[in-house]
Structure 1
Amino acid sequence: MADSNDVMPHYRAGIELFNNCEFFEAHDVWEELWSEYRGPSRTFYQGLIQVAVALHHFCNGNVRGAKKLYSSSRAYLDPYRPMHLGCDLDHLFLEMEECFGEMLAQEEGAAPVEINPELIPEIHLDEEALTKAIAEHSSEVVE
C-alpha cells in the first residue's frame, strides 16, 4: 500500500463492515491492508484486526479465543489512545469493556456467556480528526 488512496478505502471499508457486525469480513479487509503496510500505524491496524476477531469468536461461542484476542487487541491499541486516524479508541475500549465484561469476569469452566447484541461495540470515526491526521502526519498513513 503505497499511498493514502490505497490505505484509506481499506480502513474505511473495514470500519463499515465492523459496524455492520461483519467481523470476519472486517478482519479480512484490514488484514490485507496490514500485510502490505509498513508504516508506524501497522500495529494500530493489527489491533483493529484482533478486535474484529475477538468479536467474531465471542459471537460464535469461542470464549477462550475471544478472551485472548480481547487482551492482545488492547495491548496493540493502547499506545494509540485516545484517538488515532480518527478512531475514538477510548470510546471503543469503553464499549468493548461493556460487551466483554461478563465473559471476562466468568470463572474457568463455567457455562459460556453469550454475547449481548445490544452491547456490541461500534467504531466511531471522527472525520475531522482523520482529515487532520492525514494532513499533519501523512507519513503515518502513506508509508
Structure 2
Amino acid sequence: MNETMSEEFWQGVEQFNAGQFYACHDILEALWIDSIEPDKTFYQGILQIAVGLYHLGNHNLRGAMILLGEGSNRLRRYLPSYGGINVEELFTESVDLLKTLQQESLQPMANNKLAENQARLLPSIS
C-alpha cells in the first residue's frame, strides 16, 4: 500500500481488480469529488476506465469505447507510475482493449469471439 493514497482508494483498486466496476466507481467518484489536482484527474481516469468496463459487461460497446478512451487519455500525464500504481500497465491494457473493441465494432459477427476472450482482455491495476 502506498502511504500517499487513501485506504478508500485501495479498496477501489481491489474492487476494480475483482471486476466489481460499479462498486469501484462509487468509491472513486466520492474521492474524485473531494480531491484536488493532481489526484483529481488521476481518480477520474481510473473511474472512467472502470465505468467503461461496467458498460462493456452490460454489452454497451459504444459507452465502453468512449469511457475507455477518455479515461486512458486522462492517465497519460501520470505515466509511468503514480501513487503506487503502475499507470503504464493500466494505460496500455486499456488502450489495447479499446483498439480491440473498435475493431470488433466494425465486425459485428466477431462479437462472440470478443465475449469468449473478454476476461483475458480486461485491464487490471497493479
Task: Give your verdict on TM over 0.5.
Answer: yes
1:59 corresponds to: 57
Secondary structure at the counterpart of residue 116 of structure 1: helix
1:15 corresponds to: 13
Secondary structure at the counterpart of residue 38 of structure 1: coil
- In the TM superposition, 1:1-143 aligns within 5 A as 8-108=6-106, 110-111=108-109, 112=111, 113-114=114-115, 116-124=118-126
Structure with more of its chain in helix, by fraction: 2
Distance 1:109 1:36 in 2: 41
Over alpha carbons, which structure has the higher Rg? 1
Q: How many residues get paired?
A: 120
- Output one character per residue of 1:21-71: Cα deviation in whole Å (capped at 9) or x when no partner: 000100100000111112321100000100100110111100000010011
TM-score (norm 2): 0.84
Distance 2:6 2:31 in 1: 9
Sequence identity, in percent?
31
What residue ranges of structure 2 are gaps of 5+ in the alignment?
none
What residue ranges of structure 1 are gaps of 5+ in the alignment?
125-143
TM-score (norm 1): 0.75
Higher RCO, 1 vs 2 (CA within 8 Å, ≥6 residues apart): 1
Shift of 1:110: 2.9
Do 1:99 and 1:116's aligned partners in 2 also have CA atoms closer than 8 Å? no
